[in-house]
Amino acid sequence: MRRRELGLTVLAGVAATAAMAQPGGFEQSGLVGTLEGPALITDPARRPGQFKEAPMLAEQVRAGALPPVEQRLPQDLMVVQPLRKVGTYGGTWRRGFIGPGDSENGNRLMSADKPLFFDETGTKVLPCLARDHEVSADGRRITLHLRRGLRWSDGTPCTADDWLFWFEDLYSNKDLVPAPAPELAANGKPGRMVKVDDATIAFEFAEPYFLFPALMAGDTLVGGGQTRLQSNGQAYALYAPAHYLKQFLPKYSSVEALNAQARAAGFGNWVQLFQYKSDWRLNKELPTLAAWRMVQPINTSLWVLERNPFYYAVDTAGNQLPYIDRIQMTLAENPEVVNLRAIAGEYDYQERFIDLGKLPVIVENQQRSRYKVHLDLGFNGADSVLFPNPNFTDDKEIAHWLGQAQFRRALALGIDREQLNEAFWLGLGTPGSVIPAEVLPESPGEEWRQRWSTHDPAQANKMLDGLGLNRKDREGFRLRRDNGQRLRIEITVAQTLSPTWPQQAEMIVQHWRQIGIAGDVKVQERSLALTRARNDQTQILLWTNNGTESLYLYPRYCLPVDPTAGVMGNGYALWFASNGERGIRPAEPEMLKAFDLMRAATGQREEERNRTAQEIWKLAVDQQWGIGLVGLSPAFMGVRVVSERLENVPGRTGISQHIRTPWGAHPEQWYFK
C-alpha cells in the first residue's frame, strides 16, 4: 500500500488521455519527457567526406578480414544526426528476454531492415532501406529507389535482384507462402513487383493504392523487413538474400537432394529446412541488413547480436554506426524476473515486460541502481483485450455462444474495468472499449469508448436470460443447453508482455460469477498459446490491441485479416487474405461489411480513409469482436528503465506498433559515456 501511495503521489490524479492530448498530466511527474528523435540528413551536400569505424572493425581491417570502411559503405548513405551529440564506440547493451517465443524482442532491434520507416511521431514516412519513394498520380504505381552500393552483412551486394528473388521465388511459392499478404493487393486485386534497374523496384496495382508506402513503413507483412521471413514459418517480406537462400530452393537444386539434406539436418523436408535457414533468430549464417547481426541464437540462455560491419548508416561526423558493439539479451524465466533484474540495475535499456504496476518501486530504486525511468504514453484503446474466437469448433456449445454478438456484449458488461484499472494500472489507465484515443482522426468518438464497455451486471444477466441461458445450478452458474452441465468459458493467457495478464484474467473470472458465467484461466508459454490460437483452438485469448492506433498499419487486433496473427479467428483471416480461396467465410454480415470497408480503404486518400476507419471501429465495438478492458496508458512497453550511462536516449519515444520501439529512437546512435 505504501508503494502504491507513492506511485499515486508521483503521478497524482492524472488521466492518460489528458496526458496525450495536452501538456500537464503525466508530464508533471517528471517521468514523461519531450517526444523526440534523431534527424535523418537527406541532403547529399551534407554527406560526410571521410569515414571512421569501431575499433573492433578497424582491427579486422588491419588483419585483412574486412575491407576498409570506405569500401563497406554504400554510395547512398543514411546519415543520422545524433539526438544530442556524436557518440563514442564500444560497450554491450544488456537486456532481457523470456525464451524462444519472445521473437519480437529481437525483431524490434533489427528494424533498420525495413523498406521505409516512420519518424518519432509515427505520422511521417522516412527513408530506410529505400532512400526515396514515389507514388504515381493515379496511385497505381509505387516506386522504391534503393540505396546504391548497399551490402549484406557478409559483404555481398544487395540489389533489386534480391527483391525480385523474394517476389518470384519465395512469395510466389505456395509451399513457402500458402496465403498471400493482403497488403500486396489493392481492393483484393493482387499487385506485382517489377525491376526497373539494379537500384529501383516498382509495385504495380490494378487500382489506386495510396496507402501502400505507409504499409511498407509499418509493421505489416510487407513492411516488417527481413524478420518477416520467419513469420509463422512463412516467407513474408519484400526482399531476401538471393545469393544465400537459392541453395535451399528446389528451383536451383532438386526436391530429392534438398529433402535428403533436410533429413540429415534433422528436418522433415526441404520446406522446414528453408524455414530454418531463413530464420534470423536461429541461423547466424543468414546475412542481414540491420545494424547488428545475430551471433548467438534465441534458443540459448544468451541471445547475442553483434555490430554489422556493412551497416549502411553513419553519423554526421562520418562515424559508421552503430556505436554499441553488441546486444546481449539474458534469458529470464518470466516477466517477473525481468522486472526484478531491471530494478536491480542489471539492464541498460529495458521497456519490454516492465510492469506499470511496479512503477512506485521502480521509481524508488532509480538512484540506488543508477537508472532513469521514462514513461511513454500509448494511443491504443486497450492494453488488454479479450478476443472471443469466432472459429472455435472443439466444443459446439461453446462455439455457438462465442459466435453470438449478444453473448459477447453480456460478457463485456459483466467486467468491472474500474477495479482492473485500480488494481493493475494504478488507476492511471482509461477503462473502456478498443477504440484509439479521441485525438486521433481514426477514432469514431468518445461515445464509442463506453459502448458495451461499462460494468452493468444487471443488464448482462437480462441479456443472458433472453438468450435462453436461464437455467442455473445451485451456485447460480448458467447451464449448457446440450448436457445440463455448467457452462464454462476458458480464457487463454500467454506469458508475454504483461506480467499481470494472468491476474487480470482471474479477476475477470470473479466478475463473471455475478452474471452466472463460470470461467477458467489457462496460462501458457507464448509460442504455445499463439500456435493454439492460429489453429483456432482457443475460446478467448487475452492479448492487446497495441498497433491499432493506426488501423491500416496493424489491423490484426481489430479485424481478423492477418493469417499470421491468429488472435481473432484464423479461419476468417485466411479467407480474407486469400480472397476467399481458403479459410472460413464469415457468417456475420457485419464482419463481411468490415472486410469490404478495409479493402476499399486501400485506394482512398487520407481524409476518406479516416472516415472508413471510424466505420470499422463502430462495427468492431458494437459486435465486441474484441472486448476492451483498459488502455491509453504507458502499460504496453511505455515504462522504460534506462542506464544513467546511456546517451542520446529520447525523453519520450513513440510506442505505437509501427514505430517499433525501441528502434523508433534509433538505438544505433545510442552510446555509453
Looking at the predicted structure, is the pLDDT value of residue 98 above 90?
Answer: yes
Question: What pLDDT does 231 receive?
Answer: 65
Residues 6+ away with beta carbon under 8 Å from 524: 492, 493, 494, 495, 532
Residue 498 clears pLDDT 80, i.e. is over it:
no
Could you give the residue range(s) of every CATH 3.10.105.10 domain in the chain?
Answer: 385-630
How far is residue 446's CA from residue 370's CA, in Å, rounded to a whole number? Answer: 41
Angle CA 217–220–222, to nearest 5: 75
Angstrom distances, CA of residue 557 to CA of 545, 553, 656: 5, 11, 13
| pLDDT, tens only, 373-419 | 999 988 999 999 999 999 999 999 999 999 999 999 999 999 999 99
For the chain, percent of residues with pLDDT exceeding 90: 82
* pLDDT tens-place string over residues 580-604: 999 999 999 999 999 999 988 988 9
Is residue 72 over pLDDT 90?
yes
| Global pTM value | 0.82
User: What does the angle CA 633 – CA 634 – CA 638 come to, to the nearest 5 degrees?
Assistant: 155
Matching CATH number, 39-325+644-672, of 3.40.50.11900, 3.10.20.600, 1.20.58.100, 3.90.76.10: 3.90.76.10
Q: Is the pLDDT of residue 154 over 90?
A: yes
Segment 239-268, tens digit of pLDDT: 999 999 999 999 999 999 999 999 999 999
Neighbours of 419 (CB within 10 A): 15
CATH 3.90.76.10 residue spans of the chain:
39-325+644-672
CA angle 354, 227, 88 (to 5 degrees): 65
Joined together, the cell numbers standing for residue 270 give: 526441404
Domain 385-630: CATH architecture, name and number where available: Roll (3.10)
Residues 6+ apart with CB under 8 A from 79: 40, 41, 42, 46, 47, 48, 313, 314, 315, 316
Q: What angle do CA 303, 305, 306 make, to 5 degrees?
A: 145
CA geometry: angle at 297 spanning 294 and 303, to 5°? 80
Q: How confident is the model at residue 558 (pLDDT cuts 50, 70, 90)?
A: very high
Residue that has been written with the C-alpha cell 518470384 in this structure: 168
